[in-house]
Structure 1
Amino acid sequence: GRIIGRDGRNIKTFEQLSGVKLIVDDTPEAVVLSSFDPVKREIARIALEKLIQNGKIHPQRIEETLKQAEQEVEKTVWRAGNEVVAAVGIGKIHPDLIRTLGKLYYRTSYGQNVLMHSKEVALLCGTMAAELRLDTKLAKRSGLLHDIGKAVSQSQEGTHTQLGYELCKKYNENPIVLNAIASHHEDVPADNLYSVLVAAADAISGSRPGARRDTLEGYVRRIERLEKLADSFYGVEKSYAISAGRELRVIVQPEKVSDAQADLLASEIAKKIQEDLDYPGQVKVTVIRESRAATYA
């Protein structure tokens, strides 16, 4: 009752100032905060907890508490951004990019914290770059910034790769870093080795068992279902789910499936996956038809 206030004035004030919707239902001692912006949602959560603890809830108090919560979250954002930049070791970076990176602390993707994912990708890129005798700092920088667009994708139109590209371009990041951001989901072609490393590290970090909201058993089951579905089609010799189930490679028997039929088969398998299976993102279906001629002398 205190949260709602007389004629709903408290809840209306809170929602208007915070940009977060409060859902108060019949569940005892439970209030749901609804917002697409994870930073605003965290500010609202901290403010609401303070208001409930204090007990004095009125429009002026709500405004003051929200400002305090915003300052707390801002400090956490700065600390998180600075800590990950220091931990990865990429040298100087624009303060606005550090702050935007810090916002990823409150963003998750399939249960995986995006800031920790970005850190993992950066470290993986650095390790692979060292093996290939490339610039490790540039590789780590590309990896750390690859998902930065997810920090602003709730408030701006466009994909996170487009938004990340535009943001880093604004602060004069290296063209290699820009291409790595734009190409890691194959929206544009990769034009350098660093972009290839970022795409590989992104797939490794996101698909390793336990990284996202997927148990090992569920992960294995999804892979097996994909392969079993493809194997059920006529002319399929063997199928392999790779890249954590994001791609399905289907090898067909050349004497049973022609080149024209291979194109049709890829479409039919993709359609069947859409109809029968639940899966995150996209699944790329590649049908491989190989004919060999051998003789002995």
Structure 2
Amino acid sequence: METTLVIVITAIAGIGIGAVLGRFMLAKVLKGLETEARDKATHILEEAKKDSERIKRDKLIESKEKFLKMKQDFDSETAKRRNQLNVNENKLKQFENRLKQQEAKQKQKEASIAKQQESFKKKDKEMEDRFDELAIQKELTFKAKEEAEQLRLKQVEQLEKVANLKAEEAREQLVEALKDEARTKASMHIKNIMEEAKMTATKEARKTVITTIQRTAAEQAIENCVSVFNLESDELKGKIIGREGRNIRALEASTGVEIIVDDTPEAIIISGFDPVRREIARVSLHRLVADGRIHPARIEEVVAKTKKNIDDEIIEIGERTVIDLGIHGLHPELIKLVGRMRFRSSYGQNLLQHSREVANLASTLASELGLNSKVAKRAGLLHDIGKVWPEEPEVPHAILGMNLAKKYGETPEVCNAIGAHHDEIEMTTLISPIIQACDAISGSRPGARREMMESYIQRLKELEGLAMGFKGVHKCYAIQAGRELRVMVDAEKVPDTDAGQLSFDIANKIETEMQYPGQIKVTVIRETRSVHFAK
């Protein structure tokens, strides 16, 4: 019994202790689960924060990329519109300049017309006064004529009585005598006029040439003062112009030329009177476009290098030319001027090629005549160096070239040939006319100066046909590439006294009816031949 009771009490106590221990264990397990759940929640929160930061960062990067792309697109569109605006502004400025020029010309024309009207009014008044005076003089003259006629009739009657001749017979004898006297006086008068014309011909010719140059300067300037620079695409025009035009202004300031950017597709125009400057600008543009870096500092650097390269190239061309021609001892400055001829043209003919041709022709002619061919070749090469002198000349290029040759130690023969090849000074050596003739040959041969062969031959035929239309001409030849016209006349139909008048009439008709370069010399040849046979 007691044993059973002990067992029950022990069981009850064990149950109580087990319950306490179970509760304690349960609390501990629950606390562990709570801690584990809290850790998991914290981990989940941290992962969520990391994911949110990553998503936020990705979205921020994506938004920045979109913003940068939109900014680039906006800048590109803005640059295009700015370039177009600059082009439009340049066009507007050019149009305004042309409009101002036209307005100025119109005002000048109006002022000139007003002056002419005033002058015409004065002349009209003077003419009216002159007509009144002439009317009065006409009345007086009519009265004096009647009185003179009465006196003449009286004198005729007296002369008929004294000379025992009728008035008609005396008149015929007097007319014949007056004809002979008039012919002689007319021939002498023509000779005097021709001599006076020869004395003033050079002066008048210069005035005519200057007037012609002034009238045609614009067309010639357009033809000889521009170069075209080709581009791969029109997008490069914006780079060349630069922001607010700073690149193109820097290029123009560095090279001394005008850069014209217009609507011409894939091309810009380089304008300037100095061909060396145009070449520097062209080469500099080529290097800048090829490099891709176009800004004012880079432009100045490239232009400076290009100038040095062009100067070296000019010297190299001059040295190679004198070596090819076998000319020795030429001054370095003259060699540099010879090199500059490579970038100069005259009437469309390259000046260096023309000078080389003149040098070779002069050497050949001098050898045939037994003269010094080396001196002739030297003078032929240097005869046009006055055309490439960089400073503005105040004298003709022949005189300028002669002065340069003297300055750099050339012989008097060479200096005289250079100065006299356009008759600016008197020829003192036999080399001078050779250089003049070779210069004419090189410049006037067919095709040398932009003249087609067909038009050249046609012009010579028209020249000969025009002279053949005159009375008494039986042969006519155009020689020296059309610069001289030799006319053979019939000695029986054209006397010596009429030869000068015929030459003048032919030259006058050529001036009025034909277009030709330079001048044409008209020579009339009259020859009398007497032939007999001895049997």
The reply on whether 1:195 has 2:439 as its aligned counterpart is: no
User: Are the structure 2 counterparts of residues 262 and 67 from structure 1 closer, same or farther at C-alpha, using a change threshold of 3 Å?
Assistant: farther
Query: Could you say which residue in structure 1 is the equivalent of 2:377?
Result: 140
Structure 1 counterpart of 2:520, from 284, 287, 295: 284
Distance 2:495 2:262 in 1: 60
Q: CA deviation at 1:67?
A: 1.2
Matched with 1:13 is: 250
Q: 2:472 touches 2:490 (CA, 8 Å); kept in 1?
A: yes
Match of 1:93 among 326, 330, 353: 330
Matched letter for residue 194 of structure 1: I
SS at match of 2:487: strand
Q: Is the 8 A contact 1:37 1:154 kept in 2?
A: no
Is the contact made by 2:507 and 2:522 (CA closer than 8 Å) also made in structure 1? no
Q: 1:264 deviation in Å?
A: 4.4
Aligned to 1:294: 530
**Aligned mates of 2:464, 2:426 — CA distance in 1:** 28
**1:230–1:250: 8 Å Cα contact kept in structure 2?**
yes
Matched residue SS, 1:244: coil
Distance 1:239 1:53, change over 3 A: same
Whether the 8 Å contact between 2:484 and 2:523 is mirrored in structure 1 is no
Distance 2:473 2:390 in 1: 41
Which residue in 2 is equivalent to 1:224?
461
In structure 2, C-alpha distance between the alignment counterparts of 1:13 and 1:267, rounded to whole Å: 58
2:290 to 53, 62, 72: 53
User: Is the contact made by 1:118 and 1:146 (CA closer than 8 Å) also made in structure 2?
Assistant: yes
Question: Structure 2: how far apart are the matches of 1:189 and 1:2?
Answer: 57
**How far apart are 1:101 and its partner, in Å?**
0.6
Contact kept? 2:260, 2:268, Cα under 8 Å: yes
**Equivalent AA in structure 1 for residue 521 of structure 2:** V
Q: Which has the higher contact order (CA 8 A, sep 6+)?
A: 1
Displacement after TM superposition at 1:193 (Å): 1.4
- Mean CA deviation greater in 90-99 or 29-38: 29-38
Counterpart in the other structure of 1:128: 365
The one-letter amino acid paired with 1:222 is R
Contact 1:37 1:155 in 2 (8 A): no
Greater CA deviation, 216-225 or 80-89? 216-225
Q: Which amino acid aligns with 1:29?
A: E
Q: What is the aligned-residue identity percentage? A: 49
Partners of 2:300 and 2:343 lie apart in 1 by 22
Cα distance in 1 between the residues matched to 2:273 and 2:499: 42
Contact 1:165 1:181 in 2 (8 A): yes
The answer to whether the 8 A contact 1:210-1:216 is kept is yes
Q: Using the TM superposition, give the Cα deviation of residue 168 of structure 1 relative to its aligned residue in structure 2, in angstroms.
A: 0.8
Name the CA distance, whole Å, in 2 between partners of 1:262 and 1:6: 73
State the 4+ residue runs in structure 1 displaced beyond 6 angstroms.
none
Which amino acid letter does the alignment assign opposite residue 286 of structure 1?
Answer: V
**Within 2, Cα distance between the matches of 1:48 and 1:21?**
13
Aligned: 1:241 with 2:478: yes
After TM superposition, give the deviation of residue 238 of structure 1 in Å: 3.0
3-state SS of 2:524 partner: strand
Whichever of the two has the greater Rg, that structure is 2
TM-score, normalization: structure 2?
Answer: 0.51
Contact 1:254–1:289 (8 Å) recurs in 2: no
- Alignment check: 8 A CA contact 1:90 1:138 kept: no
Change (3 A) 1:131 1:287: closer
1:71 to 298, 308, 315: 308
Query: Shift of residue 202 of structure 1?
Result: 1.9
- Using a 3 Å threshold, how does the CA distance of structure 1 residues 232 and 20 change in structure 2: closer, same or farther? farther
Greater share of helix: 2
SS of the aligned residue for 1:249 comes to strand
The reply on whether 1:251 has 2:495 as its aligned counterpart is: no
Q: How many positions carry a matched residue from both structures? A: 296
Deviation, structure 1 residue 286: 2.0
Counterpart contact for 1:153–1:163, Cα < 8 Å: no
Instruction: Give distance in 2, aligned partners of 1:164 and 1:122.
Output: 15
Structure 1 residue ranges without an equivalent (≥5): none
Change (3 A) 1:21 1:249: farther
**1:43 offset after TM fit, Å?**
1.0
1:135-193: CA deviations, max 9, x gaps? 22111111111111121277323322122111112112111111111122233332221
Q: 8 Å contact 1:122–1:140 — kept in the other structure? A: yes
User: 1:270–1:290: structure 2 CA closer, same or farther, 3 Å change rule?
Assistant: closer
Paired residues of 1:248 and 1:283 also in contact (CA < 8 A): no
Show CA shifts across 1:44-78 (max 9, x none).
Answer: 11112222223333322222221122112111111
Query: In angstroms, what is the RMSD of aligned CA positions?
Result: 2.5
Structure 1 position 259, deviation (Å): 5.4
- For residues 285 and 511 of structure 2, what CA distance do their matches in structure 1 show? 42
Aligned mates of 1:262, 1:284 — CA distance in 2: 17
Residue 28 of structure 2 corresponds to: none
Question: Which residue of 1 is the match for residue 445 of structure 2?
Answer: 208
Work out the CA distance in 1 between the residues paired with 2:500 and 2:262.
52
Q: Distance between the aligned counterparts of 1:98 and 1:80, measured in 2? A: 8
1:231–1:238 contact (8 Å) kept in structure 2? yes
Q: Secondary structure at the match of 2:253?
A: helix
- Tell me the CA shift for residue 124 of structure 1: 1.9
Residues 117 and 295 of structure 1: is their aligned pair in 2 closer, same or farther, counting only changes over 3 Å?
closer
